[in-house]
Amino acid sequence: MSEMPSSARVVIIGGGVVGCSVAYHLAKLGWSDVVLLERKRLTSGTTWHAAGLIGQLRATANMTKLAKYSADLYGSLEEETGVATGFRQTGSISAALTEERREELFRSAAMARAFGVPVEELTAAEIKARYPHLNIDGVTGGVWLPSDGQGDPANIAQALAKGARMRGAQVREGVKVTGIARTGRRVTGVDWTAEDGATGHIACEAIVNSAGMWGHEVGRMAGVTVPLHACEHFYIVTEGIEGLGTLPVLRVPDECAYYKEDAGKILLGAFEPNAKPWGMEGIPESFEFDQLPEDFDHFEPILEAACNRMPLLAEAGIHTFFNGPESFTPDDAYHLGLAPEMDNVWVACGFNSIGIQSAGGAGMALSQWMEDGARPFDLGDVDIARMQPFQGNRHYLFERSKETLGLLYADHFPYRQKATARGVRRTPFHAHLLERGAVMGEIAGWERANWFAEAGQEREYRYSWKRQNWFENAAREHRAVREGVGMYDMSSFGKIRVEGPDAESFLNHICGADLAVAPGRIVYTQFLNETGGIEADVTVTRLSETAYLVVTPAATRRADQAWMARHVGEARVVLTDVTAGEGVLAVMGPKARDLMARVSPADLTNAAHPFGHAVEIEIGMGLVRAHRVSYVGELGWELYVSADMAGHVFETLWEAGQDVGLKLCGMHMMDSCRIEKAFRHFGHDITCEDHVIDAGLGFAVKTDKPAFIGRDAVLRRKETGPKTRMVQFLLQDPEPLLYHNEPIVRDGEIVGYLSSGNYGHTLGGAVGMGYVPSFGESAADVLGSTYEIDVMGVRVAATASLRPLYDPKAERAKA
Ligand SMILES: Cc1cc2nc3c(=O)[nH]c(=O)nc-3n(C[C@H](O)[C@H](O)[C@H](O)COP(=O)(O)OP(=O)(O)OC[C@H]3O[C@@H](n4cnc5c(N)ncnc54)[C@H](O)[C@@H]3O)c2cc1C
């Protein structure tokens, strides 16, 4: 073995397609000191046996952008490196067997149009014309994606490795990373052992964990949690079939199957609903180009359906039965980015069986992020910071991974909840809510009441693309909040205490708003990045001279706290996650004050407790901190109560509430009310790539306070005017439903897509929000156009507004 380096700018751990792509892209950016270590041979983990499907359409615009980038890259790598990647643009067909699936596919076709991916909707007969071997009995329709393709996974990885080497990266095989040295929040180097027994250490400035299904174990060495678990993943390859011809890739998700023609044979792969987790006791040290034992019983139902769907399979002999392990994550999205626990540990693993099609884009995005120290665009879907510490629990991962593999081909119904590994995080009101009919959903492990069933009503979701079984329940909850009083549990929202002598100056440095306010004031604000993009959307309450409470969405608490921790510098502050310590009940609606008067002696008039203030009050025999704010746009209070008194306070409110018609409400109600008010939803309507001015949140930024992150970008954008504007839409036909990603059509042209959507029960139709490019235009110009929203290929007329369609003057919350 030639001499190993003793130092590197970055050590990439793992030489599958993903590690090779990261090395390639870093080298392409001019990083000269890149070392990739592979414990065995390149591609010998999962990459070598992938089926090689390379699709382009993903569930969001940026994920689609990354997949498209991969396909373009693989098409050009051969010329650049001389290594044939086998990339062919064969196109792909997805065929539906139910009306619901047809709607899903047609909605995704509309989305593809918004994302610039060529697409065509097909009838069953048109599918048959493109795929003559298919039995179209029961086929309800499908879509054709002409730019999808397929390639040779191992050669794609080898081409990337060669491209990296050509630019100076060192790619070393047979060298395993056995330890990772760290000081504080930084790794300082890696220990390695070679196959010949040699050992050594490479000092480095950063590492990339691209160790595939070993990523969890490598993460532990680096002090970071990488939630993933390997599962067995199957396909068969037939003997050669005469006269097969060249065929596109075919997916029949309702039968959990995909078909790929390659060299006159058919590869039939499966995404079965109950997968088999593998490697609980660790992955054998000897693992290299290995396969797992056949399990024909497990595969048989898929094969049986496939023989009916593609009768020629029944005649063809099976040449190969393949079973290989692949890693799956709790939410079926891969892990990318800077691990929240450390400041120089980068992660790119857990690719959920789409690692080949994702590797090009993921490697490009991660490298750019490493180069700039900032995300090149929103990567919230895959950012490792979305994961919670508990999600590294192996038992949890084992249970959840049974479900995630099959989810890839399951119906992607709106509001679909995970069925496995539930009940891990419960709020102090959990049992009280269940007793009263709550139907729970889950986010970041938290069980949250999404809606309340009536007595005798089934307490389960019945999913559909049309109105689901809880639609009327949510409508009643919505009306209670708009016309009477409703109560809902907000305990899952993240709560971070910021305490210390520098708390005020620290928060003023990272927030757009001015936090030099009196104790008791509540401030709505954003954490901005240097380009004016929104990193977090929070409310901050000043509790005392030296203490603040930052409240964040449940899903982003960890990312938001990591952002804060990385910007603390020399400031004398302590950050503490106190989410579990306090329960929060929101009491909202025009009758909220009546209810509060029945349970508390406190003066809650506007004069004594105005909007935007928090005060401690008595409720029953307990104490709560009452925050006068509202995410539903009504008069009301969010009541923060320490966990020990939460049950008492709930019962007190519930009993008193019987006299004023108090209704328990869920998160579906909250989202429906917030979208009528055009309140932005972080992660959908506002992300790190959306400028705070374009988002219409300039009012929350105070540029006349001392310097803060993003100030210059805000001043610049105020001078030039917004590039795009966040517009709220109301469909004029009350029937169609909006979810998000539906194309926005302005004067007949697609100009964007909805970032969020829901039904507005007060406005009387589906409501959506989305950005409309408007550089150099006035508000009147933007509103002067006609707008339609493309719902499943049908253009539906929409009313557009730059002010909230519900209560535009924000009078109700201040009533
Ligand atoms: C049956 C099957 C079919 C598939 N079909 C497709 C498909 O059609 N399309 C698609 O896009 N994807 C597909 N995939 C998924 C795809 O193969 C994976 O997502 C992808 O290969 C993952 O690449 P990776 O680089 O993350 O992991 P790997 O290829 O497993 O690479 C990780 C590497 O890290 C090395 N390593 C681990 N620990 C250390 C250490 N301590 N030191 C040094 N090196 C270490 C390992 O030896 C390994 O080589 C399929 C997967 C399977 C199983």
Angle at CA 278, nearest 5°, toward 273 and 279?
160
Rounded Cα distance between 187 and 204, Å, is: 8
Mean pLDDT of all residues in 709-719: 97
Q: Which run of H or E residues covers position 481?
A: helix 471-483
Q: How far is the CA of 18 from the centre of ligand 1 (A)?
A: 8
Q: Residue 421 is which amino acid?
A: A
DSSP at 426: -
CA of 47 relative to ligand 1 center, distance in Å: 4
Ligand 1 atom with the shortest distance to the CA of 326: 53
**Rounded distance between C-alpha atoms, residue 77 and residue 125, angstroms:** 37
DSSP characters for 753-780? EEEEEEEETTTTEEEEEEEEE-TT--HH
Helices (H), 213-329: 215-221, 296-309, 312-315
Q: What whole-number distance in Å separates Cα of residue 189 and Cα of residue 204?
A: 5
Rg, C-alpha atoms of the chain: 27
CA distance 483 to 686: 29
Q: How confident is the model at residue 706 (pLDDT cuts 50, 70, 90)?
A: confident
C-alpha 391 – ligand 1 centre gap (Å): 21
Distance 96 CA to ligand 1 centre (A): 30
The set of residues, in sequence order, having a beta carbon less than 8 Å from that of 661 and lying 6+ positions away, is 480, 484, 485, 591
Sign of the dihedral through C-alpha 373, 379, 380, 386: negative
- CA atoms 267, 272, 274, 275: torsion sign: positive
With tokens 């328990």, the residue in question is 664
CB burial readout 540-556, b (16+ within 10 A) else e: bbbbeebbbbbbbbbbb
Structure tokens, 221: 């060495």
Pairing between β-strand 663-664 and β-strand 614-619 as defined by DSSP bridges: unpaired
Q: How far is the C-alpha of 480 from the C-alpha of 484, rounded, in Å?
A: 5
Pair 744, 774: CB distance under 8 Å: no
Helix, strand and coil content of the chain, in percent to the nearest 5, comes to 30, 30, 40
Residue 282 has pLDDT above 90, yes or no: no
Contacting residues for 745 by C-beta, under 8 A, at least 6 apart: 751, 787, 788, 789, 790, 795
Tens of pLDDT, residues 136-162 = 999 999 999 999 999 999 999 999 999
Please state the length of the chain.
815
| 342 contacts 223 by C-beta, under 8 angstroms | yes
Which has the closest alpha carbon to 31: 10, 13, 1, 61? Answer: 10
Residues with CB under 6 A from ligand 1: 13-19, 37-40, 43-47, 49-53, 153, 176-177, 210-214, 218, 233, 235, 269, 324, 326, 349, 351, 353-357
Asked if residue 788 has pLDDT above 70, the reply is: yes
Q: Is pLDDT of 280 > 80? A: no
User: What's the burial of 620, exposed, middle or buried (CB within 10 Å: 0-12/13-18/19+)?
Assistant: middle
Candidate of 258, 326, 347, 401 to mutate for ligand 1, largest count of ligand atoms within 8 Å of Cβ: 326
Q: 389: closest CA among 440, 340, 349?
A: 340
141's tokens: 């329709």
- Which residue minimizes the CA distance to atom 52 of ligand 1? 50
Average pLDDT over residues 113-121: 94
| Site to substitute for ligand 1 among 36, 46, 345, most atoms within 8 A of C-beta | 46
Band (pLDDT 50/70/90 cuts) for residue 757 is: very high
CA of 379 to the centre of ligand 1 (A): 21
CA dihedral (372, 374, 376, 379) positive or negative: positive
Contact between residue 244 and residue 237 where contact means Cβ atoms under 8 Å apart:
no
Ligand 1 geometric centre to CA of 327 (Å): 8
Q: What is the DSSP string of 271-299?
A: --SS--EE-TT---TT-SS--PPP-HHHH
Tell me which residue has its CA closest to atom 18 in ligand 1: 355
Residue whose CA is at the smallest distance from ligand 1 atom 22: 355
Residue-level pLDDT at 484: 98
Confidence of residue 1 (pLDDT cuts 50, 70, 90): low
Q: Which two tokens stand for residue 452?
A: 């309340």
Tell me the one-letter amino acid at 464: S
Q: Residue 2: its pLDDT value, please?
A: 79
* pLDDT at residue 220, rounded to an integer: 97
Cα angle 279, 280, 285; round to 5: 50
Give me the percent of the chain exceeding a pLDDT of 70: 100
Q: What average pLDDT is seen over the chain?
A: 97
Of 339, 334, 336, give the one whose Cα is nearest residue 223.
339
Which residues, at least 6 apart from 375, have a Cβ–Cβ distance to it below 8 Å? 337, 365, 369, 383, 688, 689
SS3 251: strand
Alpha helices in 677-744 (DSSP H): 711-720
Is the backbone of residue 764 left (phi > 0), alpha (psi -120 to 50) or beta?
left
Distance between alpha carbon 93 and the CA centroid of its chain, in Å?
26
- pLDDT of residue 717 exceeding 80, the answer is yes
CA–CA separation, 127 vs 248, rounded Å?
11
- Most distant pair of Cα atoms in the chain: their distance: 85
Over residues 745-768, the mean pLDDT reads: 98
Residue 314, judged by CB atoms within 10 A of its CB (0-12, 13-18, 19+), counts as: exposed
What mean pLDDT is predicted for residues 174-201? 97
Interval between CA 268 and ligand 1 midpoint (Å): 19
Q: Report percent pLDDT > 90 for the chain.
A: 97
pLDDT of residue 82: 96
Model confidence at 599: pLDDT above 80: yes
Separation of alpha carbons 44 and 123, rounded Å: 42
pLDDT of residue 281: 80
Residue whose Cα lies nearest atom 33 of ligand 1: it is: 14
Sort residue 807 into left (φ over 0), alpha (ψ -120 to 50) or beta: left
Q: Are 208 and 12 in contact (CB under 8 A)?
A: yes
pLDDT at position 713, please? 98
